[in-house]
Amino acid sequence: MRTTLVASLAAATVSVFLVAGCSSDTSDMPMDGHSMSASNSSSVPSTQADASAQFDDADVMFARMMYPHHAQAIEMAAMVEGRTDNPDVMALASAIEAAQQPEMERMTAWLAEWGEPAPSSDMGEMDHGSGTGMMPQQDMDALTAATGPEFDRRWLTMMIEHHEGAIEMANIEIADGSNPDAQEMARTIVATQQQEIDTMRALLG
């Protein structure tokens, strides 16, 4: 701006054009040279983008590992149909699927926003002996073969362990993560799945 003003004073014969040009180019410019109108119009989306961009390794690990964990829970929930007529087990399976499928979609979206590879439902990515609650294939096969009260017992026992693993993973995200949306999901997982664990333990007696 100083250069423009000096030039306009020195070149009197074109001062009108310089003033007109300065007026049209900088009428909405503050002293720092950034457009006020552009800043105002983008302030809200910029805030949202900043929140989405705030993430660390713990957030990425949470999304990548919780995704296949949820996928296995949904697989177990789908097994209920045709293997039991226990209304309590059926209601739990329906609630698990309704809660976890949308969470899987959100985790996929987060990883895309963070420039990370898409998550995989391949259970081979997870260590079944690491306390994550992931069920080994032989247990899944045994569950598939069971029906009636035997199925109910196996399903409830396995889902309790599965939920306990999810809560452990969620607590790590709460402690170490930085993305507010991921941490909020982790808190929801802890609260919701602990309630379901309590219900399942009561059903087992």
Could you say which architecture CATH assigns to the domain 52-204? Up-down Bundle (1.20)
- Contact predicate 38/49, CB 8 Å: no
- Quick one: which of 76, 108, 120 has its CA closest to 95? 76
Q: Residue 19: pLDDT above 50?
A: no
Q: Domains of the chain: which residue ranges?
A: 52-204
pTM of the model: 0.74
Alpha-carbon distance of 9 to 3, in angstroms, equals 10
Which amino acid would we find at residue 40?
Answer: N
For residue 130, the model assigns a pLDDT of 54
Residue count (the chain): 205
List all residues 6 or more positions away from 93 whose beta carbon is below 8 Å from its beta carbon: 76, 77, 78, 80
Q: What is the pLDDT of residue 37?
A: 37
